[in-house]
Amino acid sequence: MTAENAAVEDLTETRVAVVTGASSGIGLAAAEELARRGWAVAVVGRDEARLAVAIDRVRGAGRGAGHAAGRGAGHAAAEAYRCDFGVLDDVRSLAAMLRVAYPRIDVLANNAGGAFAARRSTVDGFEQTIQVNHLAPFLLSHELRQSLRGGRIINTSSGAHTGGALDPDDLSSTRRSYRSLTVYGSAKQANILFAAEAARRWPEIQSTSYHPGVVRTRFGNESRLISGFYRLAPLLRTPEKGAETLVWLATEDASKIAPGRYYMDLRERRPAAKATDSTLAARLWDASLAAVGLARPTSSI
């Protein structure tokens, strides 16, 4: 895992956002818009080539904001961080660098994710979909908790959560045959439950989740069927449209946003019942703590 870091500048008066999955699609669109509004943005992505293109675009948006406001370039900054969410040690290293670079983080946008055509295990031993979409952002959020006090966590979920069948006792879905969209739906269900439980356990941080709509992106690019749909289906949203609610949740007056809730198109929506179960959310939290190595050991008698 690497970072494209210059010397850390004084960001005391500048709002800071960490956007994962920001080398393309919704994450890149959100990072550009926040930079355009004068935010400092940590642009997190896995692919080095796409990340290099993305950071140039985000920095360009930030320079435009500086000129429009009559300030010199550099009033806000964008930095690139490469991280593979399929490797939890990468996530820990990313968090360590972010804590040094940004002692205060106003927004963590947990946007990275993906669906995979076939079952695949990560180096950490988990099914890849649940790790990339849930366990890695869950770990990153915990690692950045102190920096996020007074800030916001925003989880990119999906309407696909309605097709999930999340079982905290079987996060890797080993007890059922592998169906890509069901496993993906379970991960998106986890995003909503995580946001709700974080709002209960961490009242000092405003946590929410949202559905960006069906957006024309590189999503599911490893599956010919899924990627074909996202390339060719008519009437899909642009990444900019998909990012609107993320940006709104990041910038709207906090009093107008209900912690722990699920949003779409700038307003609160009610997710499927399976994503509103507080008992399931608590079980998921405990199972996730154990999975990423954050559970407290039980004392023996």
At 147, list the tokens: 């920096």
**Under 8 Å between Cβ of 125 and 36:** no
Residue 7 has pLDDT above 50, yes or no: no
Q: Scanning the structure block, which residue is given the tokens 């986890």?
A: 190
Q: Scanning the structure block, which residue is given the tokens 């990560």?
A: 122
- pLDDT at position 226 is 56
In terms of Cα–Cα distance, which of 83, 262, 272 is closest to 186?
A: 272
What percent of the chain is predicted at pLDDT more than 70? 84
**pLDDT band (50, 70, 90) for residue 229:** very low
> Given 81, 102, 184, 230, which residue is catalytic?
184
Q: What's the average model confidence in pLDDT over 122-145?
A: 98
Whether residue 178 lies in the annotated active site: no
- The pLDDT tens digits for 35-56 are 999 999 999 999 999 999 999 9
At 16, list the tokens: 């800071």
Residue 301 has pLDDT above 70, yes or no: no
Edge-to-edge order in the sheet of strand 107-110: 3-4, 78-82, 40-45, 16-19, 107-110, 152-156, 206-210, 262-264, 267-269
Cβ contacts of residue 69 below 8 Å, gap of 6+?
A: 38, 75
Residue 11 has pLDDT above 80, yes or no: no
Question: CA–CA separation, 183 vs 116, rounded Å?
Answer: 9
**pLDDT band (50, 70, 90) for residue 77:** confident
Question: Which amino acid, residue 194?
Answer: F
Residue 248 has pLDDT above 50, yes or no: yes
Question: CA–CA separation, 268 vs 264, rounded Å?
Answer: 6
- pLDDT at position 182 is 96
Domains of the chain: 12-291 (3.40.50.720)
Residue 227 has pLDDT above 60, yes or no: no
Q: What's the average model confidence in pLDDT over 72-86?
A: 80
Burial label for 202, CB within 10 Å (0-12, 13-18, 19+), is: middle
Residue 225 has pLDDT above 70, yes or no: no
- pLDDT at position 214 is 86
**pLDDT band (50, 70, 90) for residue 58:** very high
- The pLDDT tens digits for 181-220 are 999 999 999 999 999 999 999 999 999 999 999 875 555 4
At 157, list the tokens: 């979920």
Q: What's the average model confidence in pLDDT over 139-153?
A: 98
Question: CA–CA separation, 157 vs 192, rounded Å?
Answer: 7
- The pLDDT tens digits for 264-289 are 999 999 999 999 999 999 999 999 99
What percent of the chain is predicted at pLDDT more than 90? 80
Residue 126 has pLDDT above 70, yes or no: yes
**pLDDT band (50, 70, 90) for residue 66:** low
Residue 145 has pLDDT above 80, yes or no: yes
- pLDDT at position 105 is 98
- The pLDDT tens digits for 83-96 are 999 999 999 999 99
In terms of Cα–Cα distance, which of 114, 98, 113 is closest to 16?
A: 98
- pLDDT at position 89 is 98
Taking the model in full, what pTM does it have?
Answer: 0.88
